[in-house]
């Protein structure tokens, strides 16, 4: 018991000593190109989110068994590259018509994330975790 107390006391001393050291911050110059790319990604994400907020898209998602809020949550969790790919697919879709390809892409993304155990949107999937 005395060895355990000595070990805990030593551990607390080390932790408290380490907590007193200042943390270092690193800064770098951000180029205009990098700053514009960051705002461009924000605009792309907002454009994709607004697309999935439309009534016709929400109805189509519900017809395919996807909760619209779950799709919006998943969109907010996408990486910048995935958002850019999804925005490109939205741009390629015919105006006022076929959004089936985009909805299919979202369905596949949600299905894969369900199988991987990252989300739970569809009741018919089982996680591999």
- Asked whether the predicted pLDDT for residue 40 surpasses 60, the reply is yes
Within a domain: residue 13? no
**What value does the mean pLDDT take over residues 3-12?**
89
Does any domain span residue 4? no
In a domain, 38, yes or no: yes
Is residue 98 scored above 60 in pLDDT? no
Give the count of domains, the chain.
1
Neighbouring residues of 69: CB distance < 8 A, sequence distance ≥ 6: none
Single pTM value for the model: 0.45
Q: Is residue 92 part of a domain?
A: yes
Domain-located, residue 60: yes
CA atoms of 37 and 97, how far apart (whole Å)? 30
| Cα–Cα dist 41/44, whole Å | 5
H-only helix segments in the chain: 2-19, 32-52, 55-63, 68-77, 80-92, 100-116
The answer to the question of residue 10 being in a domain is no
Domain that holds residue 80: 29-129
The alpha carbons of the chain give a radius of gyration, in whole angstroms, of 23
């Amino acid at each position: 018991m005395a060895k355990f107390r000595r070990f805990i006391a030593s551990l607390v001393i080390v932790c408290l000593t380490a907590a007193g050291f200042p943390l270092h911050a690193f800064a770098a110059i951000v180029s205009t190109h990098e700053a514009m790319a960051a705002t461009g990604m924000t605009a792309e994400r907002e454009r994709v989110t607004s697309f999935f907020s439309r009534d016709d898209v929400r109805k189509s998602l519900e017809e395919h068994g996807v909760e619209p809020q779950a799709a919006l949550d998943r969109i907010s969790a996408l990486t910048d590259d995935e958002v850019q790919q999804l925005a490109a697919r939205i741009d390629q879709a015919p105006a006022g018509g076929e959004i089936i390809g985009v909805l299919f892409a979202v369905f596949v993304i949600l299905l894969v994330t369900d199988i991987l155990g990252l989300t739970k949107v569809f009741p018919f999937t089982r996680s591999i975790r």
